[in-house]
Amino acid sequence: MSLSHQTSARMSPTAPSSSLASGLLGRAKGMLLAPKNEWRHIARERVTTRRLVVGYITPLASMTALIALLRFSMTARVPLAGAAALAVLTLGFELMAVFVVALIINALASYFHGVHSQSHSLRVTAYSSTPLWLSSVFLPFPTLAVPALFLAGLYHTYLMYLGLEVLMKSPRDRALGYATTVVLSAVILGIVFTQVGAGLGQILRL
């Protein structure tokens, strides 16, 4: 099934799939411009984990890894092999973070009166991360990167709030606290990954 925006009349497990690229662009556009409607479409979809990882998570995470590599190469001289290793490690951290945050969402579900579903928690994590991944295009421009990442972080929290309410069935009065807790956990996780990445970057410079 395509990940693109579809009406309920077209939703069918046997419906023909569009290209992964068009699906990714359609979903990203929906998350940015009409997130409430997009989450309702997502709730009616049947998307396998493999399809989600291959068609949405990996392309956007790869873009972030490549842009981070470009930013790093602008500030440090790294051998080609080291640069390639850094790009792979960055992508690995991005993918790992998605799955770890999904585990956190699922683990906290009952505390916020939600339902447990690993597949739904992965979708919440992936789709709500859209603005974070897209904001990485500003990384090579330091004066724009900070405000862009800040705004992306706020919108990420809002998207997660909506997704937790729709997919994890958390009541509206609990979903905001749920989203805030998950985002704070993700920030801590990001700090850990950043420190590890910085240490590996120093090694790769040698």
Residue 5 maps to a domain = no
Residue 110: give the domain boundaries: 20-205
Residue 197 maps to a domain = yes
User: How many structural domains comprise the chain?
Assistant: 1
- DSSP for residue 76: S
Residue 7 maps to a domain = no
Residue 98 maps to a domain = yes
Residue 14 maps to a domain = no
Residue 6 maps to a domain = no
Residue 200 maps to a domain = yes
pLDDT tens for the chain, 206 residues: list them. 434 444 333 333 333 334 455 589 999 999 999 999 999 999 999 889 999 999 999 999 999 888 877 776 666 666 666 667 777 888 888 899 999 999 999 999 999 999 999 999 999 999 999 999 999 999 888 899 899 999 999 999 999 999 999 999 999 999 999 999 999 999 998 888 777 666 655 655 55
- The b/e string for 130-147 (b: 16+ C-beta within 10 A; e otherwise) is bbbbbbbebbeeeeebee
Predicted pLDDT at 17: 37
Cα separation values, 82 from 63, 79, 85, 123, Å: 18, 5, 5, 33
pTM for the whole structure: 0.83
Residue 54 maps to a domain = yes
